[in-house]
Structure 1
Amino acid sequence: MIQQEGPGWRLARDPQRHPYGALIGGETWAVELTESEAGALASLIQDLVDHHAALRGQLMDEELITLELERTPWWGSLEGDREGWSLQMILRPEDGCERGVEVFWPAPAAAAVAAAMRTLWDLSTDQLN
């Protein structure tokens, strides 16, 4: 198992744990996710961060931006300015599962958790064992 955490966020990943091999958390909350849900979340967050980076140079200092992206089973939003942003994510599975989740990381925890997710989900399952 690999665990990472910082002020306002935490992540854990253990693919040997079924069905919930991942844990994400904020200051006062945590939720377990399947490997598939966690991988899709990491991909969605990375795309939002990449979009923000591409637009950053076009933003005025005082200008705010909201980016939204939907990719089943997640909907996500990045809100902020040139320098900092928050993340809000909603899990809405379509497989008949009753479980739904809404998560939020404020700035600067959002940038830290996004970087940690990129690293953690880039690792292969063999590297985690």
Structure 2
Amino acid sequence: MEHLIKSGLGWRIGWKPNAPVFKGLVGTDDWAIELTQAELNDFCRLLAQLADTMKQLADELMAEEKIACEAESDLLWLEVEGYPHAYSLCLILNTGRGVEGKWDTVAVPGLLQASGMLKVF
């Protein structure tokens, strides 16, 4: 496999197993950042954790109540913000490259689904 890039409305995610260092890619239509395999693994794992947390909180919140949840590894920090059924996602790399990124509410469901099917773990 040369490389795999999946994309949708406001998001893209990629995997290039033969790349020497930066095997992963995440971004939007306007920007992208290459990630190491460990960073991409953490991104996918933490995004899934945050999505599960938002799903669990849905029953505990009033319909108009917004919430923010964050998750962090040594490599990166993620935050979701909004309603349990519609939220944005922010990313900050902790690895010295000084990268921040954000996905709008419409992009997160597709990105979440694609990140779970990337098979990089």
Shared topology, TM-score over 0.5?
yes
Contact 1:64 1:81 in 2 (8 A): yes
Query: Distance in 1 between the 2:23 and 2:84 partners?
Result: 34
- 1:27-46 → structure 2 map (5 Å cutoff): 27-46=29-48
* CA apart distance, 1:42: 0.8
The match for 2:10 is: 8
The alignment's C-alpha RMSD in Å is: 1.4
Task: Flag the structure with higher helix content.
Answer: 1
Amino acid at match of 2:39: E
Task: List alignment gaps of at least 5 residues for structure 2.
Answer: none
The match for 1:106 is: 104
Task: List alignment gaps of at least 5 residues for structure 1.
Answer: none
Per the normalisation by structure 2, the TM-score is: 0.91
Contact 2:55 2:85 in 1 (8 A): no
Query: Distance in 1 between the 2:99 and 2:70 partners?
Result: 17
Per the normalisation by structure 1, the TM-score is: 0.86
Amino acid at match of 2:54: H
Percent of matched pairs sharing the same residue: 33
